[in-house]
Amino acid sequence: MTRLTKKYVRFDWSDECEQAFCELKQRLTSTPVLTLPEPGKTLTVYTDALGIGLGCVLMQDGRPVAYLSLRLRPHEGNYIVHDLELAAVVLALKARRHYLRGVRFVLYTNHQSLRYIFTQRELNMHQRRWLELLKDYNFTIEYHPGKANVVADALSRSGLDSRTVLRQMTHEHGLLQAASAMCMAELSTTAKHHICCQLRIPTVSIERVT
């Protein structure tokens, strides 16, 4: 459906679009699995970037508060890795500013050089503009190894087969037992580059991920 909103693309409502639209309605009207943030408790943000998209997850006490994934625009595909990872951070701060402004939080990224963005001497135009936004928030950037960053990483890997994503999340991070306890309500690919899945994960599983 996102592709149909682009310029010079013929509006062709296919069976895949209809399936994705029905799935979206079902997700929006079903019981939410997210938690509401509690004042006074620390918020954590996980971000990740891949060649096809950006992902971010806002969590508190090991439970998801909000999440977001965004497909890259054509010109963003030319960004260097450092700028892509920084763009994921900017996406998280802009999208969840109503939660993050005025409070101290920790942001985890699998790109270690971002920890030094505030002291980096040479910046390009993108980095200079984004740095002004970052300075409006009170947070620290911590390094989170890519293999352990399964929460945000799953959102940015939308180009992979859904079963491949789950297999990597379990085998690479030793969550086979936790995965067997998951209640997979539904798992389906609604389009070529989009994944729709709903998982109910026990608290112990989330704690092991974070």
20 within a domain of the structure (yes/no): no
Residue 22 lies in a domain: no
Q: Is residue 23 a part of any domain in this protein? A: no
pLDDT on residue 174: 41
Instruction: Report yes or no on 6 lying in a domain.
Output: no
pLDDT, mean of residues 108-118: 91
The total of other beta-carbon atoms located within 10 Å of residue 186's CB is 11
- The answer to whether residue 11 sits within a structural domain is no
Domain annotation covers residue 28: no
Torsion 81-47-27-7 (CA) sign: negative
Tokens, residue 6: 């682009």
What CATH number has the domain bearing residue 203?
Answer: 3.30.420.10
pTM above 0.75, yes or no: no
What φ, ψ does residue 38 adopt, rounded to 5°? -100, 130
Number of domains in the chain: 1
Tell me what the pLDDT averaged over the chain comes to: 75
Res 170 pLDDT > 80: no
- CB count, 10 Å around CB of 44? 20
Greater confidence (16 vs 194) lies with 16
Q: Which of 94-98, 153-157, 176-180, 198-202 is predicted least confidently?
A: 176-180
Nearest CA among 86, 79, 60 for reference residue 141: 86
- Return d(Cα 98, Cα 112) in angstroms, integer: 27
> 142 or 183, which is more confident?
142
- Domain assignment of residue 146, yes or no: yes
Range of the domain at 147: 38-209
Torsion of CA 62, 153, 87, 124, to 10 degrees: 120
Q: Give the mean model confidence (pLDDT) for residues 15-37.
A: 82
Instruction: Report if residue 13 sits inside a domain.
Output: no
Q: Which residue from 125, 111, 118 is spatially nearest to 50, judged by alpha carbons?
A: 111
